[in-house]
Amino acid sequence: MTRTQRFPVYFVSHGGGPWPWMDDRRAAFAKTVREFAALPQRLPAKPKAVLVITGHWEAPEFRVSTSAQPPMDYDYYGFPEHTYQLQYKAPGSPELAQRVRGLLGDAGIRAGEDPQRGYDHGTFVPLYLMYPDADVPVVLLSMKSSYDPAEHIRAGQALQPLRDEGVLILGSGLTFHNMRGFNQDAATAPATAFEDWLNDAISQPDAAKRNDMLVHWQQAPAARIAHPREDHLIPLMVAAGAAGDDTGHRLFVDHVMKVPMASYEFGAA
């Protein structure tokens, strides 16, 4: 691919649980529905595959999903029965999985494989809205359970060549993930302050400064209020690493459950 065909990189806030299949929640996320559905039109072409780094998969070391037909992973609790029957039948891509492992290995980053790993809601929610026909292969890359921001940025940097190979790299998490804060008036101000800081960080024209800010994210306003545990933030670090020198910007922000949920784009097509 030429430079003009290089794929952008995204971090998306995927919302809570299987909300697209619940009428009241889908209405609350109406802006997210529109924006996710429109995202494929921002790409230079239909991707050959999507590599997802989801806030719902971590392991002691990086791992890559290798199944040709990944199963579903209903990793949520207390939702209507029909949401445990959902199917997103996008194929996997063992070839991309090996390419990911190879790129990480070339950078000195060990990555295992997981032939059983399936699609959690951080994966199938955005992809269902983007590609409802489930006709784009999907591979998942786990976070490393150390949550070391610099290590995840370095992993993203190793994966940059995929952007020139027709692969869409998608980090999926949330800019605010404090279960006790959702739907609480007291959460709005700290969630907004933290997202404003994140937007400033990813918008830095100097990638080194951006990455340094992300490494030290705990110094941001209300950081630990927004993320008592950073599982839903770490996918952003991989996306930022994969962005290379491309500057990020806020793609959109939806206000749901009294907090902002922002999604970011690096290297617009």
Chain length of the chain = 269
User: Which among 202, 198, 249, 263 has a CA at the least distance from the CA of 33?
Assistant: 263
Q: What is the pLDDT of residue 218?
A: 98
Q: How far is CA 136 from CA 45, 66, 84, 93, in A?
A: 12, 15, 22, 10
Is the per-residue pLDDT at 126 higher than 70? yes
**Strand order through the sheet with 167-173:** 111-114, 62-65, 138-144, 49-59, 167-173, 9-13, 259-266, 248-256
Is the per-residue pLDDT at 191 higher than 90? yes
Q: What is the pLDDT of residue 269?
A: 60
Q: Please give the DSSP secondary-structure letter assigned to residue 45.
A: S
Q: Give me the percent of the chain exceeding a pLDDT of 70.
A: 98
- Which residues constitute the domain of residue 60? 3-266
Say if residue 4 is exposed, middle or buried (CB neighbours under 10 Å; 0-12, 13-18, 19+): exposed
| Mean of all residue pLDDT scores within the chain | 97
CA max distance for the chain: 48
Is the per-residue pLDDT at 63 higher than 90? yes
What is the spatial distance between Cα 176 and Cα 241, in angstroms, rounded to a whole number? 21
Q: What is the pLDDT of residue 202?
A: 98
What is the spatial distance between Cα 118 and Cα 16, in angstroms, rounded to a whole number? 18
Q: Please give the DSSP secondary-structure letter assigned to residue 131.
A: -
What is the spatial distance between Cα 26 and Cα 261, in angstroms, rounded to a whole number? 14
Is the per-residue pLDDT at 115 higher than 80? yes
Q: What is the pLDDT of residue 268?
A: 80
Q: How far is CA 200 from CA 7, 50, 91, in A?
A: 22, 27, 36
Q: What is the pLDDT of residue 23?
A: 95
User: Which among 178, 173, 240 has a CA at the least distance from the CA of 210?
Assistant: 240
Domains: count for the chain: 1
At residue 48, the 3 state secondary structure works out as coil
CATH code where residue 201 lies: 3.40.830.10
Q: How many helices (H) and strands (E) does the chain have?
A: 9, 8
Angle (nearest 5°) at CA 154 between 56 and 7 = 75
* pLDDT single digits (tens) 11-55: 999 999 999 999 999 999 999 999 999 999 999 999 999 999 999
Q: What is the pLDDT of residue 4?
A: 58
Task: Report the amino acid identity of residue 188.
Answer: T
Is the per-residue pLDDT at 227 higher than 70? yes
Model pTM?
0.97
What is the spatial distance between Cα 154 and Cα 32, in angstroms, rounded to a whole number? 29
Q: What is the pLDDT of residue 142?
A: 98
Residue with tokens 């649980």: 17
Q: What is the pLDDT of residue 30?
A: 97
Mean pLDDT over residues 130-159, rounded?
A: 98
Measured from the Cβ of residue 207, the count of other Cβ atoms closer than 10 Å reads: 19
Mean pLDDT over residues 92-100, rounded?
A: 98
